[in-house]
Amino acid sequence: MIRVELIRRPQQSALFSALSPFIAFALTLIAGAILFWLIGKPPLPALYSYFIEPLTEIWSVHELIIKATPLILIAVGLSVCYISNNWNIGAEGQFIFGGIVGSLLPILVPGFGGPLLLPLMMIMGMIGGAAYAAIPAFLKTRFNTNEILTSLMLVYVAQLFLDWLARGVFRDPNGSGFPGSIRFPAVARLPEIAPSQGGAHLGIVFAIVAALVVWFMLRSTLKGFEVRLIGTSPRAGRFAGFSASKMAFFAFLTSGALAGLAGITEVSGAIGQLRETISPGYGFTAIIVAFLGRLNPIGIVAAGLVLALTYLGGEAAQISLGVSDKVARVFQGMLLFFVLGCDTLIHYRIRLVRRAIASALEKS
Amino acid sequence: MNDVGATSSSPTLLKVEGISKTFGELKANDSVNLDIVPGEIHALLGENGAGKSTLVKMLFGSLQPDGGTIFWKDQPVVVTNPMQARALGIGMVFQHFSLFDALTTAENIALSLDEKIAISTIAERARALGDAYGLPLDPNSVVGDLSVGERQRIEIVRCLLQKPELIILDEPTSVLTPQEAEKLFETLFQLKSEGKSILYISHRLEEVQRICDRATVLRHGKVVAHCKPSEETPSSLASMMVGADVDAVERASKEGPEGDALLEIRDLNRAAASPFAVPLTAISLAVKAGEVIGIAGVAGNGQGELFEAISGEVLQKAAGEVRLRGSDVGRLGITQRRRSGAAFVPEERLGHGAAPTMKLSENLLLSRYRTDAKAFLGSLGVIRNGAITKATKRIVEEMDVRKSAEDPEAAALSGGNLQKFIIGRELDRKPAVLVVNQPTWGVDAGAAAKIRQALIELARSGSAVLVISQDLDELFEVSDAIAVMHNGKLSVPLPIAEATYEKIGLLMGGAEPGHASHGVELGAS
Span B448-468, pLDDT tens digits: 888 999 999 999 999 999 999
Q: Is the pLDDT of residue B208 over 70?
A: yes
Q: Report yes or no on A47 lying in a domain.
A: no
Span B378-399, pLDDT tens digits: 988 999 999 999 999 999 999 8
Kindly state whether residues A187 and A270 are assigned to the same domain.
Answer: yes
Strand B222-227 relative to strand B214-219, pairing = antiparallel
Tell which residue, A329, A274, A301, has the closest CA to residue A71: A301
What pLDDT is attached to residue A164?
Answer: 96
User: Of A308, A337, A356, at which residue does a domain stop?
Assistant: A308
Q: Report yes or no on A53 lying in a domain.
A: no
Q: Hey, are the CB atoms on B352 and A220 less than 8 Å from each other?
A: no
Rounded distance, CA B137 to CA B103, Å? 14
What pLDDT is attached to residue B449?
Answer: 86
Kindly state whether residues A284 and A330 are assigned to the same domain.
Answer: no
Q: Do domains B4-242 and B250-341+431-525 have the same CATH topology?
A: yes
Q: Closest approach of chain A CAs to the CA of B355, in angstroms? A: 6
- ipTM exceeding the 0.85 mark: no
Span B241-250, pLDDT tens digits: 776 655 667 7
Contact with chain A for residue B17, Cβ under 8 A: no
Q: Closest approach of chain B CAs to the CA of A302, in angstroms? A: 26
Rounded distance, CA B520 to CA B343, Å? 34
Q: Hey, are the CB atoms on B380 and A225 less than 8 Å from each other?
A: no
Amino acid residing at A67: K
CATH number at residue A259: 1.10.3470.10
Contacts of B441 (CB under 8 A, 6+ apart): B174, B347, B419, B469, B470, B471
Q: Report yes or no on A46 lying in a domain.
A: no
Kindly state whether residues A253 and A166 are assigned to the same domain.
Answer: yes
Which residue among A5, A11, A353 sits closest to B412, beta carbon to beta carbon?
A11
Q: Hey, are the CB atoms on B355 and A233 less than 8 Å from each other?
A: yes
Q: Closest approach of chain B CAs to the CA of A77, in angstroms? A: 20
Rounded distance, CA A243 to CA A226, Å? 9
- With a pLDDT cut of 90, the percent of chain A lying above it is 61
Contact B209, B230 (CB under 8 A): yes
Span A167-211, pLDDT tens digits: 999 999 888 888 999 999 999 999 998 888 888 899 999 999 999
What pLDDT is attached to residue B465?
Answer: 96
Most confident of A58-72, B75-89, B445-459: A58-72
B 316-355: CB under 8 A from A: 333-335, 338, 344, 346, 348, 351-355
Q: Closest approach of chain B CAs to the CA of A256, in angstroms? A: 23
Kindly state whether residues A158 and A295 are assigned to the same domain.
Answer: yes
Contact A276, A5 (CB under 8 A): no
Strand B464-468 relative to strand B433-437, pairing = parallel
Kindly state whether residues A148 and A204 are assigned to the same domain.
Answer: yes
- Which residue of A lies nearest to B368 if distances are taken between CA atoms? A240
Q: Report yes or no on A48 lying in a domain.
A: no
- Which residue of A lies nearest to B18 if distances are taken between CA atoms? A357
Beta-ladder partners of B92: B168
Q: Hey, are the CB atoms on A233 and B356 less than 8 Å from each other?
A: yes
Span B141-179, pLDDT tens digits: 888 777 777 888 888 888 888 889 999 998 887 667 777
Q: Report yes or no on A22 lying in a domain.
A: yes
Which residue among A10, A228, A232 sits closest to B404, beta carbon to beta carbon?
A10
Model confidence band, residue B511 (pLDDT cutoffs 50, 70, 90): low
Give one word for A158, left, alpha or beta, with left for phi > 0 and alpha for psi -120 to 50: alpha
What pLDDT is attached to residue B517?
Answer: 41
Contacts of B30 (CB under 8 A, 6+ apart): B20, B51, B220, B221, B222
What pLDDT is attached to residue A297?
Answer: 96
Q: Classify B371 as helix, strand or coil.
A: coil
Q: Closest approach of chain A CAs to the CA of B370, in angstroms? A: 9
What pLDDT is attached to residue B318?
Answer: 93
Residues of A with CB under 8 A from a CB of B: 5, 7-12, 220-223, 225, 228-229, 232-233, 235-241, 353, 355-358, 360-361, 364
Average pLDDT over residues A11-40: 85
Q: Which of B358, B374, B406, B414 to probe the A interface (max A CBs under 10 A)?
A: B358
What pLDDT is attached to residue B6?
Answer: 40
Q: Which of B383, B384, B404, B437 to probe the A interface (max A CBs under 10 A)?
A: B383
B 57-116: CB under 8 A from A: 64-70, 75-78
CATH of B4-242, one of 3.40.50.300, 3.40.50.1820, 3.30.390.10, 3.90.1200.10: 3.40.50.300
Model confidence band, residue A17 (pLDDT cutoffs 50, 70, 90): confident
Which residue among B23, B66, B354 sits closest to A236, beta carbon to beta carbon?
B354
Contacts of B241 (CB under 8 A, 6+ apart): B45, B46, B47, B50, B217, B219, B444, B445, B446
Rounded distance, CA A147 to CA A133, Å? 10
Rounded distance, CA B45 to CA B65, Å? 20
Rounded distance, CA B188 to CA B521, Å? 35
Rounded distance, CA A172 to CA A110, Å? 12
Rounded distance, CA A23 to CA A3, Å? 23
Q: Closest approach of chain B CAs to the CA of A357, in angstroms? A: 6
User: Of A278, A308, A338, at which residue does a domain stop?
Assistant: A308
Q: Hey, are the CB atoms on B366 and A7 less than 8 Å from each other?
A: no
Model confidence band, residue B49 (pLDDT cutoffs 50, 70, 90): low
* CATH 3.30.930.10 assigned to B250-341+431-525: no
What pLDDT is attached to residue B247?
Answer: 63
Kindly state whether residues A194 and A78 are assigned to the same domain.
Answer: yes
Q: Report yes or no on A314 lying in a domain.
A: no
Rounded distance, CA B420 to CA B436, Å? 12
Size (chain B), residues: 525
Kindly state whether residues A302 and A332 are assigned to the same domain.
Answer: no
- Which residue of B lies nearest to A361 if distances are taken between CA atoms? B76
Rounded distance, CA A288 to CA A336, Å? 7
Which residue among B64, B334, B362 sits closest to A241, beta carbon to beta carbon?
B334
- With a pLDDT cut of 70, the percent of chain A lying above it is 96
Q: Report yes or no on A11 lying in a domain.
A: yes
Model confidence band, residue B7 (pLDDT cutoffs 50, 70, 90): very low
What pLDDT is attached to residue B167?
Answer: 93
What pLDDT is attached to residue B275?
Answer: 67
CB-based burial label for B93 (10 Å; 0-12, 13-18, 19+):
buried
Contact B433, B324 (CB under 8 A): yes
* DSSP secondary structure letters along A153-205: HHHHHHHHHHHHHHHTTTS-TTSTT-SS-PPPPGGGSPPBSSTTT---BTHHH
- Residue B68: list chain A partners with CB under 8 A: 357
How many Å from the N-terminal Cα to the C-terminal Cα in chain A?
17
What pLDDT is attached to residue B146?
Answer: 79
Span A46-63, pLDDT tens digits: 888 888 888 888 888 999
Q: Hey, are the CB atoms on A239 and B352 less than 8 Å from each other?
A: yes
Q: Catalogue the long-range contacts made by A219-225 (C-beta closer than 8 Å, 24 or more residues apart).
A: A220/B382, A220/B383, A221/B380, A221/B381, A221/B382, A221/B383, A222/B365, A222/B369, A222/B377, A222/B381, A222/B382, A222/B383, A223/A250, A223/B381, A225/B362, A225/B365, A225/B369, A225/B383
What pLDDT is attached to residue A305?
Answer: 93
Contact A102, A164 (CB under 8 A): no
Contact A50, A31 (CB under 8 A): no
Q: Is the pLDDT of residue A359 over 60?
A: no
What pLDDT is attached to residue B181?
Answer: 84
What pLDDT is attached to residue A83?
Answer: 97
Contact A136, A143 (CB under 8 A): no
Domain chopping of chain B, boundaries: 4-242, 250-341+431-525, 350-430
Contact with chain A for residue B257, Cβ under 8 A: no
What pLDDT is attached to residue B176?
Answer: 74
Span A225-260, pLDDT tens digits: 999 999 999 999 999 999 999 999 999 999 999 999
What pLDDT is attached to residue B519?
Answer: 37
What pLDDT is attached to residue B245?
Answer: 59
Span A72-123, pLDDT tens digits: 999 999 999 999 999 999 999 999 999 999 999 999 998 888 899 999 999 9
Q: Closest approach of chain B CAs to the CA of A93, in angstroms? A: 32
Q: Return the number of CB contacts < 8 Å for A and B.
A: 100
- Residue A5: list chain B partners with CB under 8 A: 64
Span B281-319, pLDDT tens digits: 999 999 999 999 999 987 778 898 999 999 999 999 999
What pLDDT is attached to residue A339?
Answer: 81
Q: Which of B366, B404, B417 to probe the A interface (max A CBs under 10 A)?
A: B366
Q: Hey, are the CB atoms on A229 and B24 less than 8 Å from each other?
A: no
What pLDDT is attached to residue B443?
Answer: 75
Mean pLDDT of chain A: 90
Kindly state whether residues A248 and A174 are assigned to the same domain.
Answer: yes
Rounded distance, CA B216 to CA B222, Å? 10
- Residue A238: list chain B partners with CB under 8 A: 313, 334
Q: Which domain holds residue A67?
A: 59-308
Angle at B12 between CA B11 and CA B17, to 5 degrees: 140
What pLDDT is attached to residue A152?
Answer: 97
Q: Hey, are the CB atoms on B409 and A11 less than 8 Å from each other?
A: yes
Kindly state whether residues A333 and A267 are assigned to the same domain.
Answer: no
Q: Hey, are the CB atoms on B382 and A360 less than 8 Å from each other?
A: no
Q: Classify B312 as helix, strand or coil.
A: coil
Which residue among A220, A236, A356 sits closest to B382, beta carbon to beta carbon?
A220
Contact with chain A for residue B49, Cβ under 8 A: no
Span B460-500, pLDDT tens digits: 999 999 999 987 888 999 999 999 998 899 999 999 999 88
If one counts the domains in chain A, the total is 2
Q: Hey, are the CB atoms on A10 and B354 less than 8 Å from each other?
A: no
Model confidence band, residue A356 (pLDDT cutoffs 50, 70, 90): low
- Which residue of A lies nearest to B369 if distances are taken between CA atoms? A222
Span B417-445, pLDDT tens digits: 899 999 999 999 999 999 999 998 767 77
